[in-house]
Structure formats: structure tokens, C-alpha cells
Amino acid sequence: DQQVKQNSPSLSVQEGRISILNCDYTNSMFDYFLWYKKYPAEGPTFLISISSIKDKNEDGRFTVFLNKSAKHLSLHIVPSQPGDSAVYFCAASGGTYKYIFGTGTRLKVLA
């Protein structure tokens, strides 16, 4: 039972345009969400997070939106840059110190 789903395995975007990566979850107990970025042969690196008490969190070019009623979060990258090409994972946690990860979306930003 996949509690955190990233239904798009891959996404291609032109440089300078917006990248939107989506994540859905099923467990209503989740109250903290994170996005990680992963380059080949490296460990995931933390990008941005959001608590369920907020519906938006922004950090430079990265914004995460949370829609609790739809159990959906999205990561917006504006403007997209070639260096953003990587695999992006969303993760969720709910009152425990365990995190459930999605399967990842491979983003390719075309120059």
C-alpha cells in the first residue's frame, strides 16, 4: 500500500519555465512533508518542507503548496534551470520519527 505517491515518473521542462512536481498521500495523519532532490551517485539532499498548519512555503525559486483536503502537495520551481535536473522525492511523516517516501519524479530541464 503506497501511502505516498508520485504518479509522474518523469517530467521535461524548458529552461526558464516553471516545473511542477506533484505528490499525493493517503494517510490523513501525515502532518509534515518534505521534498528532496537527488543527483546520480549521491545521497538525497533536503530541499524544502511544509507543516500541515501552512498551505504554502517558499524558499527562493522553490515553493511547496499543500492542499490538505485533497491530500496533495506540489513543488514549483521557477524559473527552472538545467542544474535542477535530478530526481525529486516527496516524503511525509505523521507524529512519528518515520518518513514515508514517494517513488520519485525525474526532472529534466532542457537548455
CA distance 73 to 93: 13
In whole angstroms, how close is the CB of 75 to another protein at the nearest point? 15
Among 64, 66, 89, 107, binds another protein (CB under 8 A): 89
Instruction: Draw the binding track, 31-70, toward another protein (x: CB under 8 A; -: no contact).
Output: xx-x-x----xxxxxx--x-x-------------------
CA distance 77 to 59: 10
108 burial class (0-12, 13-18, 19+ CB within 10 angstroms)? middle
Which residues sit at the interface with another protein, rule CB under 8 A? 6, 31-32, 34, 36, 41-46, 49, 51, 89, 91, 93-104
